[in-house]
Amino acid sequence: MNFDFSDDQKLLKEQVRKFLADKCPTKVVRRVLDGNETHADEVWKGLVELGVPATTIPEAYGGLGLSPLELCVIAEEVGRAAAPVPFDSSVVLATEALKLAGTEAQKVKWLPLLASGEATGTVAVAEGPEPPRPRNTRTTFGGGRLNGKKVPVIDGEAASFAIVLANTGGQGERAVSLVLVDLEQAGVSRRRVETVDPARKHAELVFNDAAAELLGAEGEGWRTLERLYDTAAVYLAFAQVGGAEAAMWMARDYALQRQAFGRQIGSYQAIKHKLADCYVKLELARSNAYYGAMMLTDDGADLPLAAAAARIAATDAYDFAAKENIQTHGGIGFTWEADTQFHYRRSRVLALGLGGPMAWKDKLVTRLEQKNVT
């Protein structure tokens, strides 16, 4: 039984944690939230120097060729800092999509640029206010040309390329394919969209006969996306665990410091038990995330179930910690000035990006039924 990260991985985690504590304190999150920047570029450059985007990219493509476990510990720290950097979009989604379905040429072209931080990528699936499905994907791809609109696209403004879910004309789930599109071309226009978390900028992308190419086989888009989302769910679960833990300790620190009715508010059970529940949810999430991490290595036979469980537990833990952190702070917690808002906002971005908890619960039970049959 070896159900823990190695000493080297813990050391890496500590290193990223120190870096982010130093270079990405909450005032940096606030600066991006309040300002015009697409992301905190100095933090991103620092993470690039630490090798973060190169972590799981094979050495043959200019990466470090480390295991998924290294990226899990990094994700936890990025989540803890609520860092405004293209981690989930580029380091997780775009990178994993290329590794999963890219042709040799596509990998040779993009992975080294991702590893070195010269390029970032993103994944564009949603088309407005409806959970994305093959049948409501109206963006089309044919004859090497992409047409349609994707919104919201995380980091869509700054990304060099996007992996887009597009209709290619098949039946049912096979109606859609993944398409790789260079965003720096005339056929692409981008516009920032306002979201509940301005510290993570999102965009609307409009494709007008944009030159693009298939990523993976035609008609395989939905299946590939599901695999991609399983992998991403595990990494994001670690980010959620980090965020939940940060929110929990923020609430705890305030509960020690704030007095009401002649005592620390942290001595009232309504507060103590609430924070104990944060801890319970956090540990359930952490344990499920560990198993997800384990399933990212080896052949990961149990990844679909492990990823769903990790995602459900981590979403629950982060949602709960983020909202109860504000509640523990009282009035000050509801101000623009307070740091409590960062986790509240981020917890929703992370909860919805790959599909929300209702959808994942349904998916989990479907997978459990399939497993019990076999």
Q: Are 122 and 156 in contact (CB under 8 A)?
A: yes
To other proteins, the closest distance from the beta carbon of 2 in angstroms equals 6
Whose Cβ is closer to other proteins: residue 122's or residue 328's?
328
Whose Cβ is closer to other proteins: residue 76's or residue 204's?
76
Whose Cβ is closer to other proteins: residue 207's or residue 290's?
290
Binding site for other proteins (CB under 8 A): 1-5, 69, 248, 252, 255-256, 263-264, 266-267, 269, 271-273, 275-277, 279-280, 283-288, 290-291, 293-294, 297-298, 308-309, 312-313, 316, 358, 360-362, 364-365, 368-369, 372
Whose Cβ is closer to other proteins: residue 86's or residue 242's?
242
The span from the CA of 61 to the CA of 59, in Å, is 5
Residue 112: both structure tokens together: 């080294």
To other proteins, the closest distance from the beta carbon of 246 in angstroms equals 14
To other proteins, the closest distance from the beta carbon of 97 in angstroms equals 24
Rounded to 5 degrees, what angle do the CA atoms 337, 343, 346 make? 115
Whose Cβ is closer to other proteins: residue 141's or residue 254's?
254
To other proteins, the closest distance from the beta carbon of 198 in angstroms equals 31
Q: Could you please report the per-residue DSSP string of 84-144? A: -SSIIIIIIIIHHHHHHH--HHHHHHHHHHHHHTS--EEEE--BSSS---GGG---EEETT
The span from the CA of 174 to the CA of 86, in Å, is 30
Q: Could you please report the per-residue DSSP string of 292-318? A: HHHHHSTT-TTHHHHHHHHHHHHHHHH
Whose Cβ is closer to other proteins: residue 197's or residue 316's?
316
Please name the helix (run of DSSP H) or strand (run of DSSP E) that holds residue 224, with its range, or none: helix 221-257
To other proteins, the closest distance from the beta carbon of 290 in angstroms equals 6
3-state SS assignment for residue 165? strand
To other proteins, the closest distance from the beta carbon of 282 in angstroms equals 9
